[in-house]
Structure 1
């Protein structure tokens, strides 16, 4: 057995515990606290498993779940950037790319390369799996905001146009989920959860 490899794996796993301390802007649906990255990653992974039957194209659900479990690991070093923060998003890619080298570099080359490749595929959103994964990543906070009476949409005065832009990958990955979500956006607007334009 390669003890060095195992030690790297354990060090990586211990480092991942930091995901539980990275707070996102989105609150839990019950509004009791802000969600952390680990909770978010778990939730969207389960969503992918449950909602995969609505994907427009055939997808490898296991691959989607892997992407979702690792897609925010870079935030251990880069921090969470709120999706509607224009200023914070200007250097997000640079910060996260640097963080990817660090976090995936903790593992032996083969494991690190596999995870880095999955992360890059997720970021590019070109494959069916990456597009569906990105859709789950965006749908989950959308649902949290809707079911918490507007959540961060109200807090940060987010416009309907910006919500449509953010959730747009869903249009490409699932017609059924897209139509369902469009109805929710319009309902949220009617209820006053979204900034009046």
Structure 2
């Protein structure tokens, strides 16, 4: 019990990791804990749209765990195009330490789910990636391109970074978003 409590208190720090996107109607940045909660619900809601059946409980567990390394590394905007190898190595070290607070069997299970998400080879991991990549887009579309404009993110860069993983994980979601992104481009919601 003590190890579980230590783990839960350690991951409370995820609430202090700020991201570049604002929650709707709020004048502050969202945090990584809010993001993880929201994409878990997005995935659960999108499950009927998966191309093939997915173990949605496994998807949700991946989404709740995938950003825990940000406790030590901070968040990097999804549209960043450089430094991913170094960042992922630092996140792996962080999750290994943090999951290591748990009993050995549970630590191994959580680390396995983290690796599965990162590899994006299973249908569940690809579906989880689709939800993870889609949420910042949905918030930006609803916030008139807030983080795109503030961070100089172009339409082409958004499509290049999020299109392939969403297409691979949930093609029907990508078909919807692709049309929304084109409308946003025509409305001038992207940075230079």
TM-score, with length taken from structure 1: 0.92
**2:29 matched to which residue of 1?**
34
Runs of at least 5 residues in structure 1 that lack an aligned partner in the other structure: 1-5
**2:184 matched to which residue of 1?**
188
Question: Which of 159, 164, 168 matches 1:164?
Answer: 159
**2:8 matched to which residue of 1?**
13
Indicate how the Cα distance of structure 1 residues 195 and 79 shifts in structure 2: closer, same or farther if over 3 A, else same. closer
Determine if the alignment matches structure 1 residue 173 to structure 2 residue 185.
no
Runs of at least 5 residues in structure 2 that lack an aligned partner in the other structure: none
For the 8 Å contact 1:158–1:194, the answer to whether it is kept is: yes
Task: Provide the alpha-carbon RMSD of the alignment.
Answer: 1.3
Please list the CA deviations of residues 73-130 of structure 1 after superposition, one character each: whole Å capped at 9, or x if unmatched: 1111121122233455352112111112111111111000000000000001110000
Q: How far off its partner does 1:31 sit?
A: 4.4
TM-score, with length taken from structure 2: 0.95
**1:3 matched to which residue of 2?**
none
Inter-partner Cα distance in structure 1 for 2:123 and 2:82: 30
Q: Which has the higher strand share?
A: 1
Determine if the alignment matches structure 1 residue 94 to structure 2 residue 99.
no
Higher Rg: 1
3-state DSSP class of the match of 1:24? coil
Counting matched residue pairs gives 191
